[in-house]
A and B are shown apart, each in its own frame.
Chain A
Amino acid sequence: MTTSSAIGAPPRGVLGRLADRVGGGVLQAVLVLIGVFWLVPTLGLFVVSLRQETANNSSGWWTAFTKPAEFTLKNYADLLASGFTASFWNTVLITVPATLLVIGIAAMAAYAFAWMDFPGRDALFLVVVGLLVVPIQIALIPIARLYGALGVFGSIPGVVLFHVAFGLPFAIFLLRNFFVGIPGSLLEAARIDGAGEWKIFATVVFPLAKPAIASLGIFQFLWVWNDLLVALVFANTENQPMTKALQSQMRQFGTNVDILAPGAFLSLIIPLILFFAFQRYFVQGMLAGSVK
Chain B
Amino acid sequence: MTDRLGGPEGPRGGDAAGSSPGPHEPPASRPETARPQIATAGPAAPDAHAAGAGAGTEKGTEKGTAAGPRRRLGPSPVLATAFLLPAVVLLGALVIYPIVYSLFRSLYDASGDGFVGAGNYAAIFSDPATLTTIRNNLIWVVFAPATVTVLGLIFAVLTERIRWATAFKLVVFMPMAVSLMASGVIFRLVYEQDPDRGVANAVLTSVGDVFGASGGYPDARPRENEQSPVTADQGAVATRRPVQPGQAVLVPLVGVKPGDLADAATARPAAPPGPGEIAGTVWVDFTQGGGGQVNQVDGTEKGLAGMTVEAVRDGQVRATAVTGDDGAFRLTGLAPGDYVVRLPQSNFEAPFNGLTWLGPTLITPAIIGAFVWVWAGFAMVMISAGLSAIPRDALEAARIDGAGEWQVFRRITVPLLSPVLLVVFVTMIINTLKVFDLVFVIAPGSVQPQANVIALEMWRVSFGGGGDQGLGSALAIFLLVLVLPFMILNIRRFRRDNQ
Contacts and interface: CB of A to CB of B under 8 A. Distances in A.
A134 B17 contact: no
Contacts of B197: 56, 59-60
Given A134-B480, A180-B51, A183-B50, A117 B178 contact: no
Given A3-B400, A122-B28, A136 B5 contact: yes
Interface string A174-211: 10111111111101100110000100010000000000
Given A135-B1, A168-B87, A271-B178, A117 B93 contact: no
A286 B150 CA distance: 19
B462 A140 contact: yes
Contact of B95 (A62, A126, A134): A134
B48 to A, nearest CB: 4
- Interface size range on B against A: 35 or more
A22 interface: no
B114 interface: no
Contacts, number: 419
A138 B95 CA distance: 8
Contact of B179 (A118, A132, A176, A243): A243
B177 A275 contact: yes
B96 to A, nearest CB: 8
A247 B490 CA distance: 34
Range class of the A interface residue count: 35 or more
Interface stretch (A64-72, A76-84, A104-112): A104-112
A217 interface: no
Nearest to A178: B21
A41 B436 CA distance: 20
Nearest to A164: B90
B99 interface: yes
A190 to B, nearest CB: 10
Contact of B181 (A267, A274, A286): A267
Contacts of B182: 45, 226, 246, 264-265, 267-268
A42 interface: yes
Contacts of B351: none
Interface in A153-179: 161-162, 164-170, 172-174, 176-179
Interface string A100-137: 00000110110111111111111010101111111111
B407 interface: no
A143 interface: yes
A15 interface: no
Given A60-B199, A229-B437, A141 B490 contact: no
B480 A135 contact: yes
A116 B480 CA distance: 32
Contact of A168 (B91, B381, B433): B91
A131 B91 contact: yes
Given A141-B476, A229-B436, A289-B14, A62 B50 contact: no
A291 B440 contact: no
A228 B473 contact: no
Interface of A: 2-4, 7-8, 24, 27-28, 30-31, 34-35, 38-42, 44-45, 48, 56, 58-62, 105-106, 108-109, 111-122, 124, 126, 128-146, 161-162, 164-170, 172-174, 176-185, 187-188, 191-192, 197, 201, 219-220, 222-223, 225-230, 232-233, 243, 246-247, 250-251, 253, 257, 260-261, 263-265, 267-268, 271-272, 274-276, 279, 282-283, 285-292
A276 B169 CA distance: 12
B59 interface: yes
Given A118-B77, A191-B74, A271-B178, A291 B190 contact: no
A263 to B, nearest CB: 8
B480 A275 contact: no
A177 to B, nearest CB: 3
A137 to B, nearest CB: 4
Contacts of B80: 112, 116-118, 121
A131 to B, nearest CB: 6
Contacts of B167: 35
Most B CB contacts (10 A, CB to CB) among A56, A109, A128 go to A109
Given A180-B22, A183-B54, A274-B177, A140 B476 contact: yes
Contact of A261 (B58, B185, B376): B185
Interface string B149-172: 000000100110110000110111
Contacts of A246: 181-182, 185
Nearest to B25: A180
A124 B29 CA distance: 12
B495 A222 contact: no
Contacts of B83: 108-109, 111-112, 116, 197, 201
Given A119-B28, A188-B54, 14 more contacts: A38-B377, A60-B198, A108-B83, A118-B84, A133-B487, A140-B476, A184-B50, A184-B55, A192-B73, A222-B177, A246-B182, A250-B188, A261-B185, A291-B19
B300 interface: no
Contact of B174 (A142, A228, A275, A288): A275
Contacts of B487: 130, 132-134
B58 A286 contact: no
Contact of B10 (A141, A191, A225, A289): A289
Interface in B65-98: 73-75, 77, 79-81, 83-84, 86-88, 90-91, 93-98
A247 B400 contact: no
Given A129-B15, A219-B8, A257 B189 contact: yes
A290 B159 contact: no
Contacts of B186: 41-42, 44-45, 264
Nearest to A40: B199
Interface in B291-335: none
Contacts of A134: 95, 99, 480, 483, 487
A167 B182 CA distance: 22
